[in-house]
């Protein structure tokens, strides 16, 4: 079969002819119908985060149809529509046992530590697969499994309850999902903070109150719109010290700030005024959990989340076109979400 693979970091991905992957007793062979090209893939190609063993087929946002099943697979049949949870976990270590399997001691992410979905076919254990309802297009099923899932995990980590107010800092791929999910979870109001007008407009169409951080101080604006109280939940999805501080300072008493934006730089907090005096919390967010994906898929089926606007382009399984998309992801800050449809 054909697969688009990382052969060497810092070099373009290459199309290679590889054997069809072997199918274990608990595995499922998926014919890939859609594979999202994620910003992480640009990092992998550039060598900014490790990928091994090389060469390796990238692609961790995958949806498709079951082509074949191993002898011990009971939950799936040939022809089923499926989407893939990108973490392949053991299911029995301490972390898997307690339902925090993103820390599985032998966990391997597809498209990073084992072959992923930039290919005609992909093999995954049945326990990493979810049924994709007919109402959800393959493209949306694929990208849902990364940024939308992480947005949901962030809201869950922040313990969002119905009737609470949410501020989302950064309405790119994660943020647009976060706005819709917060609404689906019963948030009273969602404030979408960004500096790009087109992103703010999209967030507003999805029911959020736009806060243009290029024109006003977002902390003051969020406080103004909440009678000075602030929000119970703030999500930081950008990864900059400035936006982390803003998210934290926007909190109401007993507020929770969930940080999912990846950054290396330190940020500052005023311990008495902002943390102690409000009994506020700062919470780290890493990946997502398999059990959260069922909710996500159900909300997508019911139309409570719709990623139709998020998918901006489709490309064939072809190395040149995929490399071009990765170049764009590297060079432009504009949000684009391209899906490979082999």
Residues of this chain that interact with Zn ion (CB under 5 A) are 38, 40, 89-90, 93, 96, 104, 146
Smallest CA-to-CA distance from 328 within 339, 319, 336, 320 is with 336
Sign of the alpha-carbon dihedral angle for 309, 315, 319, 321: negative
Calpha distance 296→153 (Å, rounded)? 10
Quote the tokens at residue 309.
């606007």
Q: In 3D, which of 32, 119, 112, 31 has the Cα closest to residue 69? A: 31
Beta-carbon contacts of 138 under 8 Å, excluding residues fewer than 6 positions away, are 33, 34, 63, 64, 81, 132, 341
Strand partners for 233: 166, 256
Q: Which is nearer to Zn ion, 51 or 104 (CB)?
A: 104
Nearer to Zn ion, 40 or 156 (CB): 40
For residue 46, which phi and psi values (nearest 5 degrees)?
A: -75, -10
Distance CA 339, CA 342 (A): 10
Closest distance of CB 104 from Zn ion, Å:
3
Q: Is the peptide bond before 38 cis (omega within 30 degrees of 0)?
A: no
Residue 37: φ, ψ to 5°: -100, 115
Nearer to Zn ion, 93 or 240 (CB): 93
Looking only at the bridges linking them, the beta strands covering 189-194 and 165-169 are parallel
Quote the least distance from Cβ 101 to Zn ion, whole Å.
6
Bridge partners (DSSP) listed for residue 123: 29
Which of residues 61 and 221 has its CB atom nearest to Zn ion in the complex?
61
Taking CB positions, which residue lies at the least distance from Zn ion? 38
Beta strands in 170-208 (DSSP E): 189-194
Pick 151 or 258: Cβ nearer Zn ion: 151
We find the least distance from the C-beta atom of residue 142 to Zn ion, in angstroms, to be 10
Listed residue (216, 205, 211) closest to 231, CA to CA:
211
| Closest CB 194 distance from Zn ion, rounded Å | 20
**Residue with smaller CB distance to Zn ion, 87 or 211:** 87
Task: For the CB of residue 337, give the shortest distance to Zn ion in the complex, in Å.
Answer: 10
Residue 235 CB, nearest approach to Zn ion (Å): 17
Residue 276 CB contacts under 8 Å (≥ 6 apart), including other chains: none
Tell me the closest approach of the beta carbon of residue 85 to Zn ion, in angstroms: 12
CA-to-CA distance for 160 and 156, rounded, in angstroms?
6
User: Which of residues 282 and 338 has its CB atom nearest to Zn ion in the complex?
Assistant: 338
CB closer to Zn ion out of 126 and 213: 126
User: Whole-number minimum distance, CB 93 to Zn ion, in Å?
Assistant: 3
């Amino acid at each position: 079969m054909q697969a688009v693979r990382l052969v060497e970091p810092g070099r373009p991905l290459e199309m290679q002819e590889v054997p069809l992957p072997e199918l274990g007793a608990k595995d499922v062979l998926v014919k890939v119908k859609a594979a999202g090209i994620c910003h992480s893939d640009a990092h992998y190609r550039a060598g900014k985060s490790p990928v091994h063993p090389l060469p390796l087929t990238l692609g961790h946002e995958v949806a498709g149809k079951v082509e074949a099943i191993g002898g011990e697979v009971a939950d799936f049949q040939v022809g089923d529509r499926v989407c893939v949870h990108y973490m392949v976990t053991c299911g029995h270590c301490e972390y898997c046992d307690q339902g925090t399997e993103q820390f599985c001691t032998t966990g391997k992410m597809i498209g990073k530590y084992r072959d992923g979905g930039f290919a005609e076919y992909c093999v995954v254990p049945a326990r990493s697969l979810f049924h994709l309802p007919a109402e959800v297009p393959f493209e949306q099923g694929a990208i849902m499994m990364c940024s939308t899932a992480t947005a949901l995990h962030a809201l869950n980590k922040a313990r969002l309850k119905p009737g609470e107010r949410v501020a989302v800092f950064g309405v790119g791929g994660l943020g647009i999902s976060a706005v819709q999910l917060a609404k689906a979870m019963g948030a009273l109001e969602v404030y979408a903070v960004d500096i790009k007008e087109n992103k703010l407009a999209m967030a507003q169409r999805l029911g959020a109150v736009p806060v243009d951080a290029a024109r006003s101080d977002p902390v003051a604006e969020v406080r103004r719109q909440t009678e000075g109280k602030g929000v119970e939940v703030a999500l930081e999805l950008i990864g900059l010290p400035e936006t982390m501080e803003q998210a934290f300072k926007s909190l109401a008493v007993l507020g929770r700030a969930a940080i999912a934006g990846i950054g290396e730089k330190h940020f500052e907090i005023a311990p008495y005024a902002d943390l102690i005096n409000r009994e506020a919390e700062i919470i780290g967010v890493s990946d997502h959990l398999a059990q959260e994906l069922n909710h996500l898929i159900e909300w997508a089926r019911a139309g409570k989340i719709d990623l139709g606007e998020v998918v901006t382009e489709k490309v064939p399984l072809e190395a040149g076109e995929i490399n071009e998309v990765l170049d764009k992801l590297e060079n432009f800050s504009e949000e684009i979400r391209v899906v490979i449809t082999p």
